[in-house]
Amino acid sequence: MALAQAWRAGWRIMALLTLVVTVVGTLGYVVIEGWGWWDAFFMTIITITTVGYGEVHPLSRAGEAFTVVIILAGVGTFFYGFTQFTALIAGGQLVQGRERRRHARMLDNLKDHFILCGFGRMGEIIAREFSRQHVPFVVIERSSDRVHAAMELGYLAAEADASSEDVLRRVHIDRAKGLVAAVSTDAENVYAVLSARLMRPDLFIVGRAETDDARAKLKRAGADRVISPYHIGGLQLAQTALRPAVVDFVTLATSSDNMDLNLEQVHLDDHSPLVGRSLLDAGLRQKYGVVVVGIRRRDGQMDFNPAPDASMRAGDDLVVLGRAESLRALENAAAGVTT
120 and 215 housed in the same domain: yes
Answer for the pair 114, 179: CB distance below 8 angstroms, yes or no.
Answer: yes
Question: What order do you get walking across the sheet with 302-304 strand by strand?
Answer: 262-267, 317-322, 291-296, 302-304
Question: What order do you get walking across the sheet with 225-227 strand by strand?
Answer: 157-159, 137-141, 114-117, 178-181, 204-208, 225-227
Question: In the structure, how many helices (H) and strands (E) does the chain have?
Answer: 14, 10
The answer as to whether 184 is a domain residue is: yes
129 and 173 housed in the same domain: yes
Query: Where does a domain end: 91, 125, 155?
Result: 91
Q: 3-state secondary structure string, 154-199? A: CCCEEECCCCCHHHHHHCCHHHCCEEEECCCCHHHHHHHHHHHHHH
CATH assignment of the domain containing 64: 1.10.287.70
207 and 160 housed in the same domain: yes
133 and 195 housed in the same domain: yes
Residue 63: give the domain boundaries: 2-91
115 and 229 housed in the same domain: yes
The answer as to whether 193 is a domain residue is: yes
For strands 225-227 and 178-181, give the pairing.
Answer: unpaired
CATH assignment of the domain containing 223: 3.40.50.720
CA dist 313 and 328 (Å) reads 19
The answer as to whether 186 is a domain residue is: yes
155 and 217 housed in the same domain: yes
Inter-residue long-range contacts of 45-49, CB under 8 Å, 24+ positions, other chains counted: 47/71, 47/74, 48/18, 48/21, 48/22, 48/73, 48/74, 48/77, 49/74
Rg (CA), the chain: 33
65 and 6 housed in the same domain: yes
The answer as to whether 102 is a domain residue is: no
The answer as to whether 279 is a domain residue is: yes
What pLDDT, on the 0 to 100 scale, is given for residue 84? 65
16 and 49 housed in the same domain: yes
116 and 80 housed in the same domain: no
Query: Where does a domain end: 43, 63, 91?
Result: 91
The answer as to whether 289 is a domain residue is: yes
Answer for the pair 284, 292: CB distance below 8 angstroms, yes or no.
Answer: yes
137 and 212 housed in the same domain: yes
Burial of 9 (0-12, 13-18, 19+ CB in 10 A): exposed
Domain count, the chain: 3
CATH assignment of the domain containing 302: 3.30.70.1450
Q: What is the pTM of this model?
A: 0.60
CA dist 256 and 140 (Å) reads 24
117 and 172 housed in the same domain: yes
The amino acid at residue 75 is V
The answer as to whether 100 is a domain residue is: no
Going residue by residue through the chain (339 aa), what tens digit of pLDDT does each one get? 445 555 566 667 777 777 888 888 788 888 888 888 888 888 878 777 777 667 777 777 887 788 788 878 877 777 776 676 666 555 555 555 566 666 667 778 888 999 999 999 899 999 998 998 889 999 999 998 999 999 889 899 988 898 899 999 989 999 999 999 999 899 999 999 999 999 999 999 999 998 889 999 999 999 999 998 888 888 888 888 888 887 777 776 666 555 567 778 889 998 888 999 998 898 888 888 888 989 999 888 888 888 889 999 998 999 998 887 888 888 888 887 765
Closest CA to 222 of 199, 246, 249: 199
For strands 262-267 and 317-322, give the pairing.
Answer: antiparallel
Closest CA to 159 of 174, 177, 171: 171
Burial of 310 (0-12, 13-18, 19+ CB in 10 A): middle
The answer as to whether 98 is a domain residue is: no
